[in-house]
Structure 1
Amino acid sequence: MAERLPPLNALRAFEAAGRHLSFASAAQELRVTQGAVAQHVRGMEARLGLRLFERHARGLRLTEDGRRYHDQIARAFRLMESATRDLRPSGRSVTISVTPSFASKWLIPNMPDFTAHHPGIDLRVLATEALSQFRADGVDIAVRYGVPKAVAALETRTLFAGEAIAVCAPDLSGEGLDGRALLHHSLDMWPEFLETVMGQARPEHLPGPRFSQITLAIEAAMAGQGVALASRFLVARDMRLGRLVQAVPGMLDTAQKYVALCPREDLADPARRTVFDWLCAAAERESRDVT
């Protein structure tokens, strides 16, 4: 049978290239070179004696033979994934890729609610700033911060708007920003906040401590080290607990949003659908509470 089938790596390259209609995107997902993907596909075409793709300047298009073959190969990979998933002791685990700040400030505090309502599903949290690939990294659902884009193969839901407020420790409240250290993080929102919300000229450079993650800037603000900018929902819990207060009135409304993403075909799996729907419902409740 092995002699009658193309190599598994070639089939994986063909399936990914057919899904993305791009050798480059397939290579990024599989973590190989674009040339390796193209070579795998050419080898398959030579082996099968037919063309699977039409090459164009703007990308790839499956031939009629290629489309029929891809539908069946993609179905076979999904079947293998499902069979492998069913072999696991729990059979119902879902991996969520999120940023560290989203994980520590929102997802982890809300996980007891999920576990109480869905004890049969194990959540696995992958906290990373790097972009994750669903297939290559074993990720089921991703939450990322950015401008939402419509992608045909992905279900995309906005969880939280990019509404940033300035926060500080309670003993620093009432004194505004004058004389207070501005705490910076990777999103660098202070220049826009000062210009849009405070009505000041956009500064070319702002002094103050700089942190690689939003969470670290929030922790520094709670420790009384200055004023941090963060999305309202990320600091809502700390504000309810009295650990933070809003330093100055006003809010920066950006085009950036926290978005949940999942391959549409994967939402046919009940566990993934349950987690995805829970994320959306919990975010909606949180948004109402902080409004």
Structure 2
Amino acid sequence: MTHLPSLNGLRAFDVAGRHLNFRAAAEEMGVTQGAVAQQVRQLEAHLGVKLFERLPKGLAFTAAGRGYHTLVATAFDDLRAATETLRPEPGKVLVSVTPTFAAKWLMPNLPEFSAAHPEIDLAVLATERVSRFHGDGIDLAIRQGKPPFGAALEVVRIFRQEIIAVASPALVGGHSLPLDPEALSCLPKLHDAHGLWPAFLRHLNVEDRGGRGLRLSQTALAMDAALSGQGIALVSSFLATRDIAEGRLVQVCPDTLPGEHDFYLLAERGAKRGSAVQATFDWFASKADANV
């Protein structure tokens, strides 16, 4: 195994790389500027590679130093995350959700959660990737999917995937609502990663005559584009409930498209849960649609 550099040298390099200044790095680390500079010099000597260009007013990465710093900073982030999983805080709960769920449902409903559970420090990990309970240190997850999820998980379905078409009132102001299928086919469409427009239009028995439309990577972005009047978006009905109720969006036709991937609350089955995790689990479960 290749002999690894000193951890102190790597830490000095990480902090100096963030500030690109030995003095600022020394202040963060609580040591002298000379100590930081010496640690970095020793790291460069160990590697046989120059990591920084010394400038009159600070530092600049060399090409090798920039790439190495990215990897070293990531490694320190992983170490910090791993340490946190070993020292869980009694009132802290980490929930993993998709960015769209976070932006369009969880954030608007967080004030209610905070009012009901002011003692709980809820942390939200918004990511498209599948999170791991042990590897990522999460307590709960909400994911869109299709059973079975595995015997190791406790699963509660909280929202059905019922797809509706929504738009800004400004976009459809010249039309009478609900739109007939032909009128809807001529308006611009907003496409997300789920790609549901072909199925929705087949359900209406019409072709798309609205042009190429805007293509976005997330449903949340499609909803934002709809809010700004750029087209019609297809969204799960529960995500648009608040915007429809407050008049920012309108459901442009009564037809809905049932989806195959509902939204589920996931937790480790049999794991010992603290009171904060259990209370958070119960709160999410209480928000389940009546028809799930």
Class of the TM-score when normalised by the shorter of the 2 chains? 0.5 to 0.7
Q: Where in structure 2 are the equivalents of 1:215-254 lying within 5 Å?
A: 215-254=220-259
1:42-81 equivalences under 5 Å are none
Say yes or no: does 1:84 pair with 2:87.
Answer: yes
Q: Which secondary structure does the structure 2 equivalent of 1:186 belong to?
A: coil
The normalised TM-score by structure 1 is 0.64
Q: What aligned pairs does 1:207-222 form with structure 2 within 5 A after superposition?
A: 207-222=212-227
Larger radius of gyration: 2
2: CA distance, partners of 1:156 / 1:179? 41
Partner in structure 1 of residue 198 of structure 2: 191
Alpha-carbon distance between aligned partners in 1 of 2:232 and 2:86, rounded to the nearest angstrom: 51
TM-score (norm 2): 0.64
Q: CA deviation at 1:109?
A: 1.0
CA drift at 1:178: 3.6
Q: Secondary structure at the match of 1:268?
A: coil
Per the TM alignment, residue 142 of structure 1 is displaced from its structure 2 partner at its CA by 0.7
Structure 2, unmatched stretches of 5+, are 1-82
Contact 1:148 1:259 survives alignment (8 Å): no
Decide whether the 8 Å contact of 1:186 with 1:213 is kept in 2: yes
Q: Partners in 2 of 1:82 and 1:212 — Cα distance?
A: 31
> Following the alignment from structure 1 to structure 2, what is the Cα–Cα distance between the partners of residues 148 and 81?
31
Find out whether 1:162 has 2:161 as its counterpart: yes
| Correspondence 1:117 to 2:116 | yes
The Cα shift of 1:199 comes to: 2.1
Residue 266 of structure 1: CA displacement? Answer: 2.9
CA distance in 1, matches of 2:264, 2:222: 22
Q: What is the deviation of 1:96?
A: 0.5
Residue pair 2:94, 2:137 contacting (<8 A) in 1 also: yes
Contact 2:92/2:276, CA 8 A, preserved across alignment: yes
CA RMSD of aligned residues (A): 2.4
- The residue type paired with residue 137 of structure 1 is D
CA distance in 2: counterparts of 1:171 and 1:145, whole angstroms: 31
Q: Read off the aligned partner of 1:192 and give its amino acid letter.
A: A
**Contact 1:183-1:228 within 8 A present in 2 as well:** yes
> Aligned to 1:243, what secondary structure does the other structure show?
coil
Q: Give the gaps of 5 or more residues in structure 1.
A: 1-79
- How far apart, CA to CA, are the structure 1 residues paired with 2:272 and 2:229? 44
Which amino acid in structure 2 is aligned with residue 98 of structure 1?
Answer: V
Paired residues, number: 201
SS in 2 for 1:255: coil
